[in-house]
């Protein structure tokens, strides 16, 4: 177990090994900006915002799900807004990899997450970034999710329905690659109650949110290499 570390804005990182022996690292940046005190409503207090304090609740994943993208069935228009940027990185493919996510609420509050593992692929890290970002949302939200992976974007918006109808097989009747992560992502999208606007952005093209997510993903690679 590696020790946590702090910086000027109370940045803390927790390191661990999951049940599959993969190293994961989650960083909590700018806690002084994240829903502190007793503020309420749209200011992002714990009872009113989308972002979850990961220092108090562990991430849990599930599998299954029924659909790809959907709005709330009850027509709720009072969803909190959150903007997410995600990215993955891999030094070699396969090789040591990392994922990163930036979450931003309308009041400017932010949460940055990163993690990494050895012996992975870039596609898996791209997927893990989205999974981790959606997992920290503690209530149904209106999400604008920016990603530079066509693999993840087309998978979740175009290919997933067909894969599931074929028993997680491709059109060529081959097993879907990364099926464990696709099932996790499907579960989060189908059962989280979120309204998600999936937006592709070109990577390494100067988009500030994408560049920050990329930097976080590379921190995840570095953390995996330090294990």
> What is the pTM assigned to this prediction?
0.72
Give the integer Cα–Cα distance in Å for 172 and 18: 33
Give the integer Cα–Cα distance in Å for 110 and 126: 20
Residue 1 lies in a domain: no
Average pLDDT over residues 192-219: 96
Question: What are 28-81's pLDDT values in tens digits?
Answer: 333 322 222 222 222 233 334 676 543 322 222 222 222 222 223 334 557 899
Question: What are 113-128's pLDDT values in tens digits?
Answer: 999 999 999 999 999 9
CATH number at residue 179: 3.30.420.10
Residue 167 lies in a domain: yes
Q: By mean pLDDT, which of 10-14, 62-66, 112-116, 216-220 is the weakest?
A: 62-66
Residue 6 lies in a domain: no
Residue 147 lies in a domain: yes
Buried b (16+ CB within 10 A) or exposed e, 109-119: bbbbbbbbbee
Residue 182 lies in a domain: yes
Residue 186 lies in a domain: yes
Would the pLDDT of 162 be above 90?
yes
Q: Could you tell me the CA-to-CA distances from 177 to 104, 128, 217 in Å, in that order?
A: 31, 14, 22
Q: Which residues, 6 or more positions from 186, have their beta carbon under 8 angstroms from its beta carbon?
A: 63, 64, 65, 68, 156, 160, 164
Q: What is the mean pLDDT of the chain?
A: 75
Average pLDDT over residues 162-172: 96
8 Å CB contact between 90 and 221: yes
Catalytic residues: 87-88, 126, 148, 204, 214
Residue 196 lies in a domain: yes
pLDDT band at 105 (very low <50, low <70, confident <90, very high): very high
Q: Would you mind telling me the total number of residues written for the chain in this entry?
A: 227
Say how many domains are in the chain: 1
Please calculate the CA angle 10-16-18 and round it to the nearest 5 degrees: 140
Domain that holds residue 161: 12-226
Residue 32 lies in a domain: yes
């Amino acid at each position: 177990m590696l020790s946590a570390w702090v910086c000027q804005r109370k940045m803390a990182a927790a390191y661990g090994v999951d049940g599959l022996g993969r190293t994961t690292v989650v960083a909590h940046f700018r806690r002084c900006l994240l829903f502190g005190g007793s503020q309420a409503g749209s200011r992002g207090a714990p009872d009113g915002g989308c972002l979850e304090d990961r220092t108090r609740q562990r991430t849990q994943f599930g599998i299954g799900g029924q659909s790809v993208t959907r709005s709330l069935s009850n027509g709720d228009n009072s969803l909190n807004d959150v903007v997410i940027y995600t990215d993955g990185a891999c030094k070699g493919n396969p090789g040591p990899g990392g994922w990163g996510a930036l979450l931003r609420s309308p009041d400017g509050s932010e949460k940055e997450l990163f993690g990494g593992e050895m012996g992975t692929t870039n596609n898996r890290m791209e997927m893990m970034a989205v999974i981790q970002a959606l997992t920290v949302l503690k209530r149904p939200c209106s999400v604008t999710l920016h990603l530079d992976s066509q693999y993840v974007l087309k998978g979740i918006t175009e290919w997933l329905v067909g894969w599931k109808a074929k028993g997680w097989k491709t059109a060529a009747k081959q097993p879907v690659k990364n099926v464990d992560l696709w099932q996790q992502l499907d579960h989060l999208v189908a059962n989280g109650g979120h309204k998600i606007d999936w937006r592709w952005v070109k990577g390494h093209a100067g988009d500030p949110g994408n560049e920050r997510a990329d930097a976080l993903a590379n921190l995840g690679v570095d953390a995996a290499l330090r294990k």
